[in-house]
């Protein structure tokens, strides 16, 4: 069975980039366009990995990550923050919220894929 990745991203252009990237792999992609939908999708699909944007409508990525990590059924799922907030201290803030990895936008597709494979291998 192929591993499932949940992408929580509100910008269509960014979703398309990740969609195209994942299409070249064996992974299955699930999408959510805001933090609340991301939390719901994590519960419904139990993905193997979550790519979490930080600037999201409804609930931001920090809070979404905290809520997912607070759920014993979802706590084990690695979350990679994928964000254009690449200021000093933001990575620490993402990790403190429960994210397991951090990638700044714009990212290189190769870098993102290698990070994904690192968590899913």
Q: Rounded to an integer, what distance in angstroms lies between the CA atom of residue 23 and that of residue 20? A: 5
Q: What is the DSSP letter of 80?
A: E
**pLDDT category of residue 6 using cuts at 50, 70 and 90:** very high
Question: 50 by DSSP, 3-state: which?
Answer: strand
Structure confidence at residue 52 (pLDDT): 97
pLDDT tens string 13-44: 999 999 999 999 999 999 999 999 999 999 99
Task: Tell me if 31 sits within 8 A of 53, measured CB to CB.
Answer: no
pLDDT tens string 69-104: 999 999 999 999 998 866 778 889 999 999 999 999
Domains defined along the chain, listed by start:
4-120 (3.40.50.2300)
């Amino acid at each position: 069975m192929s591993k499932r990745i949940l992408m929580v991203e509100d910008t269509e252009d960014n979703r398309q980039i990740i969609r195209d990237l994942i299409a070249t792999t064996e992974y299955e992609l699930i999408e959510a366009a805001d933090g609340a939908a991301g939390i719901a999708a994590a519960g419904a699909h139990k993905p193997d990995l979550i790519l979490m944007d930080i600037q999201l409508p409804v609930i931001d990525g920090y809070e979404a990550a905290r809520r997912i990590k607070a759920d014993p059924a979802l706590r084990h799922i690695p979350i990679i923050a994928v964000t254009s907030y690449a200021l000093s201290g933001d990575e620490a803030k993402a990790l403190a919220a429960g994210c397991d990895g951090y990638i700044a936008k714009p990212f290189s597709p190769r870098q993102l894929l290698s990070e994904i494979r690192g968590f899913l291998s």
